[in-house]
Amino acid sequence: MAQLSLYLLVIMVSLFCNSSLAEPAFARHSQSNGYIKDSCRITRYPSLCLQCLSSYGNSTTIQSPEQLAQVALSVSLYRAQYTRAYMLKVAKELESSKAKGYYQTVKDCLAEINDSVDQLSQSIRELRRLGQETVANDIFWHISNVETWVSAALTDASTCLDEFPGHNMGKLKATIKGKVLNVAQVTSNALALFHRYAAAKYRAANRKP
């Protein structure tokens, strides 16, 4: 039940973070976003971070760096899945049309995003294991696994972005680039929020006798 409602919340929340330009009206009015706002300050795209997560503002669901990392990674996975679905559709359309050169670009990029989806799913499972761990050495192991997978997901999204250099491009290319850029940015933010949680978790374990 808790799992299901978290999932629904993530879907709802991730609807608000598909554009770094849209004005997050609800964020301005929310009164108890202090914790999330503070946490988002350490990310590279703080306004996107706030936009994605601030609808949690009044809810009691997020009370810890662990939950914040979990939600941020789930949002990132959801955006990657959404982008993959979109690109699958585009690739099918291009395949039946005759724009072959362009089709290859989209297919390569799709493979990268497909890998990102995989790596983000793995990192979320590993994050759950990390949460249950109490031995410092094992904590370190889980942390480095999450770190590796999230970084790889970010690298894959960036590799895809490299296929779309410059600013002058058609509408379809610009749309794809925008969606992939969004995946890269929310993933970068999730990695920063994870680092914060990981550092606290590791310190706490080392403090124990």
Residues at the contact surface with ligand NAG, assessed by CB under 6 A = 26, 29-32, 57-58, 110-111, 114, 118
User: Following DSSP, what letter does each residue of 61-125 receive, concatenated?
Assistant: S--SHHHHHHHHHHHHHHHHHHHHHHHHHHHHHHHHSS-HHHHHHHHHHHHHHHHHHHHHHHHHH
- Nearest distance from C-beta of residue 28 to ligand NAG, angstroms: 10
- Nearest distance from C-beta of residue 26 to ligand NAG, angstroms: 6
Beta-carbon contacts of 147 under 8 Å, excluding residues fewer than 6 positions away, are: 191, 194, 195, 198
Spatial contact of 163 and 200, defined as CB atoms under 8 Å apart:
no
Identify which of residues 24 and 57 has a Cβ nearer to ligand NAG in the complex: 57
- Nearest distance from C-beta of residue 152 to ligand NAG, angstroms: 13
- Nearest distance from C-beta of residue 163 to ligand NAG, angstroms: 15
Residue at token pair 């009370």: 63
Counting every residue written for the chain, the total comes to 209
- Nearest distance from C-beta of residue 122 to ligand NAG, angstroms: 10
Identify which of residues 24 and 195 has a Cβ nearer to ligand NAG in the complex: 24
Identify which of residues 90 and 191 has a Cβ nearer to ligand NAG in the complex: 90
Identify which of residues 27 and 184 has a Cβ nearer to ligand NAG in the complex: 27
Identify which of residues 116 and 197 has a Cβ nearer to ligand NAG in the complex: 116
- Nearest distance from C-beta of residue 91 to ligand NAG, angstroms: 8
Beta-carbon contacts of 182 under 8 Å, excluding residues fewer than 6 positions away, are: 17, 18, 19, 20, 79, 83
Identify which of residues 94 and 110 has a Cβ nearer to ligand NAG in the complex: 110
**Rounded Cα–Cα distance for residues 85 and 94 (Å):** 14
DSSP 8-state assignment for residue 19: -
**Rounded Cα–Cα distance for residues 201 and 182 (Å):** 28
